[in-house]
Each structure stands twice: as structure tokens, then as C-alpha cells.
Chains A and B, each alone.
Chain A
Amino acid sequence: MLTIPKKFVDDMIDHAKSESPLECCGILAGKEETVTHIYKMKNTENDPDKYFMEPKEQFVAIKDMRAKGIDMLAIYHSHPHSPARPSGVDIKLAFYPDAIYIIVSLMDAAKPVIKGFLIKEGKVEETAIKIN
């Protein structure tokens, strides 16, 4: 099960809040199933209903992970005003079947919800996340 230290969960929520009403996006990386690094990335979309990770930053992050010997474990993005479940477009554009797609929902601003999903060939399956 993917284990995320609480500080990274707080980082994702802070990132989501700071970009709201736009979506935020980023990468969680680590070894085996434990997150050790967060990459808060730039979303190039100016539309509150879309995200597109800045390609240059994505490339730099991939190289950095390779240099550190860690793997991309999860891809996160926020839903500022909708529930924590992948939209049709999220499913269609999920090109990383090995990564867990994390969605941070700010629909209830007082109680952000974080959920993880595996998305493979259009099929979505929720996967449990351990926060410690």
C-alpha cells in the first residue's frame, strides 16, 4: 500500500489551496511504496477545469528522480470544487498505468479529501493510501 508521510499530504493540500480555483498538479516519488519526495509542479492551464503539467519541469523531475534512484509513485492533482474521483478526461489522459493517481478535493474547504486510484486502459479502481 502506498504510504505517504503526513507532511507530504499537508504539502499537497497547501498546494491545492494556493492554486484554487485553478487545479494544482505534482508528483510523489520514493522507493518501494513509501513517498520520500514531492515535486510541486506548474499547471500550464488557465482553465479551472483542466491541468497540464509544465513539460520542461516534468522532464527535469524525471531526470532528478533517476539521479536520486527513486521512482514516480503517484501523480496528484486537485479538484477545487468537485469530488475526489477521476473525471472522464482524467481517465482518458491517464498515460501512466503504474502510477497511483491522487486527487485532492477541496469541495468541502474545511475537510479536504484525498483519494488514490489506479487507472489502466480506461478502468478505474480506488486504491487505499496510508498516511503516517
Chain B
Amino acid sequence: MPVKVKIPTPLRKLTANKGEVEVDGKTIGEMIENLEKSYPGLKERLCDEAGAIRRFVNVYINEEDIRFMQGKDTSLKDGDEVSIIPAIAGGNIN
């Protein structure tokens, strides 16, 4: 079940400069594992040590934020488009 994954510019170093890749996966979690197999190093950028998706990484299926679905367990259908987009965030604490 291949899905298209849009890769943001800062992570394209890891995907041989490709802005879109195709990968299999029944869930977001599986998709990330498969991304890591093809593009080592990506998982670490997307997930923390405990395996959870990093707070400052937004992941969308089609247009929906997976935080409001089942997160990493959200299932994927053939032809879904997944977008990985770094959050826009900051703070005032030094």
C-alpha cells in the first residue's frame, strides 16, 4: 500500500534531495519505519527517543493533522498523501 510522503526542505539531505517519496505502510508508524529503511536517519528527525512523533513536527494525512486522529496509529489508505511539515514555534526563555 504505497503512500506519497512530502518531505520538507530541511530533511531532503536525507532523501537524496527528493521532495516526495513513495513508501508502504498500513499506519503512520509503519510508514516511518519503512522511511527509515530507505532513508536512514529520517526516523530520528521525526521521532523522539521513546518513539513518539516529535512535538515540533507536524504530520498530516491529506489535510488532517494526525494529532487529531490516532497519531502514529492512524491508518493509511492506498493513495493517501502524507505531508511532513516542521512546526513554526518559539519561545522567550533563554
Find B91's partner among A41, A62, A89, A96 (CB 8 Å cutoff).
A89
Asked whether A53 lies within 8 Å of B86 as measured between CB atoms, the reply is no
**Does residue A19 face the partner (Cβ distance < 8 Å to B)?**
no
How far apart are the CA atoms of A46 and B19 in the complex, in Å? 34
Give CA–CA (A50, B92) in the complex, Å. 6
Question: CB < 8 Å: which of A48, A59, A86, A87 contacts B65?
Answer: A59
A-B pair number, CB within 8 angstroms: 82
Taking the closest CB of chain B, its distance from the CB of A101, in whole angstroms, is 8
Interface size class of chain A, counting residues whose CB lies under 8 Å from the partner chain: 20 to 34
Q: Which residues of A contact B90 (CB under 8 A)?
A: 23, 50-51, 77, 86-87, 89-90, 93-94
Q: Decide yes or no whether A20 CB sits under 8 A from chain B.
A: no
> Which of B60, B85, B87, B92 lies in contact with A52, CB distance below 8 A?
B87
Is there contact, CB below 8 Å, between B85 and A59? Answer: yes
In which size bucket is the chain B interface?
20 to 34
The one of A48, A50, A56, A82 that contacts B89, using a Cβ cutoff of 8 Å:
A50
Complex: A89 Cα to B88 Cα, angstroms: 12
Q: Is A97 an interface residue (CB 8 A)?
A: yes
Residue among B60, B63, B90, B91 with the highest chain A CB neighbour number at 10 A:
B90
Binding site for B on A (CB under 8 A): 23, 25, 27, 41, 47-53, 55-56, 58-60, 62-63, 75, 77, 79, 82, 86-90, 93-98
